[in-house]
Structure 1
Amino acid sequence: MSKTSPAAMEATIRRYFEACNAADHDALMSCFTADAVHYFPPGLPDIPWRGAETIAHKWIWCVENLGSQWTIEKILCSSTAPEAVIEWTHWKRKQGTALRGDEWYVFDTESGRIKEIRAYYAAPADPSVRICELVAFDYEKRGYHLSHK
């Protein structure tokens, strides 16, 4: 199996989310090329996050300080390019809020590691909304997680 086959890319993304939820530095580092970049919409400090070390430290900080946990809702992996797209939910348990969004992944063809992530949020982060998600989208009917566990 190629390191960037659809199955391999999905396995890497799932391993990445498990590492994020566990705040596991070594596991996070193993998911990225050393020079990986994680892009975000405006509103966060110090973006984009450049380098595997920075990405790992930032997600560990989120787990420790926000109670962050993530669920994967959908994954689509290309059969013709080293790319994938997912939908996720970021549960900020200490704040009692959540954010939904998508991410576009680009993989290194030699190592199979993630070299780029582009995050897109369902809507601008609105502090007055408990769960930031698409208005009038039936998350429950479509089988999305409605709570962290």
Structure 2
Amino acid sequence: MRDSTPAEKAEALIRRYFAACNDGDHAALVDCFTKDAVHYFPPGLPGAPWRGASAIADGWVWCVKTLGSRWTIEKVLAAADGREAVIEWTHWKTAIGEVLRGDEWYIFNDDITKIHEIRAYYASPVDKAEPVNKLHDFDYEARGYALRPPSPAPRNL
């Protein structure tokens, strides 16, 4: 059995992070980040950027509890050296009937065991009047993107 490439390690870490988000697992989320990690967001999110592993975990656990948040990873592209990656994602806010699509740029620590920085970009400005925020005239279904959340949000957090 061969060792994972650096790019494979980066993708596996991102997938572990998203699993922890979907589980609303605070400890698992903290474990995905360096202590001084920063998660940047487009303008408009109160309290952004989120600074520190615990603050990032607090934010996503709140989203799961309050918004019924679920996430899917649509695409992943990791640098050959594993130090950076970019993904496309969908954020399903099941409790309020809102869907947001976007991208994130990741920077990892030297041994690709922790996320040091995330920069989030939304596919479109958030429009609360739209149930699904997305790119205009982009055929998500034909391209194989998720059209529903991966599972119901956990209720026992």
Q: TM-score when scaled to structure 2? A: 0.91
Q: Distance in 1 between matches of 2:115 and 2:105?
A: 10
2:11 aligns with 10
Q: Distance in 2 between matches of 1:131 and 1:95?
A: 11
Q: Over residues 49-101 of structure 1, what are the superposed CA-to-partner deviations in whole Å (9 max), with x where a residue is unaligned?
A: 00000000010000000000000000000004500000000000001110000
> Taking structure 1 as reference, are residues 79 and 111 closer, same or farther at Cα in structure 2, changes over 3 Å only?
closer
1:126 aligns with 127
2:41 aligns with 40
1:85 aligns with 86
8 A contact 2:10–2:112 mirrored in 1? no
Question: How many residues are matched?
Answer: 148
Q: Which amino acid aligns with 2:133?
A: C
Q: Which runs of 5+ in 2 are unaligned?
A: 151-157
TM-superposed deviation, 1:26: 1.0
2:22 aligns with 21
Q: Distance in 2 between matches of 1:80 and 1:54?
A: 28
Q: Which amino acid aligns with 1:126?
A: D
Q: Over residues 23-71 of structure 1, what are the superposed CA-to-partner deviations in whole Å (9 max), with x where a residue is unaligned?
A: 0011101100000000000011011000000000010000000000000
1:71 aligns with 72
Q: Distance in 2 between matches of 1:15 and 1:65?
A: 22
Q: TM-score when scaled to structure 1? A: 0.96
TM-superposed deviation, 1:112: 2.3
1:143 aligns with 144
Q: Which runs of 5+ in 1 are unaligned?
A: none
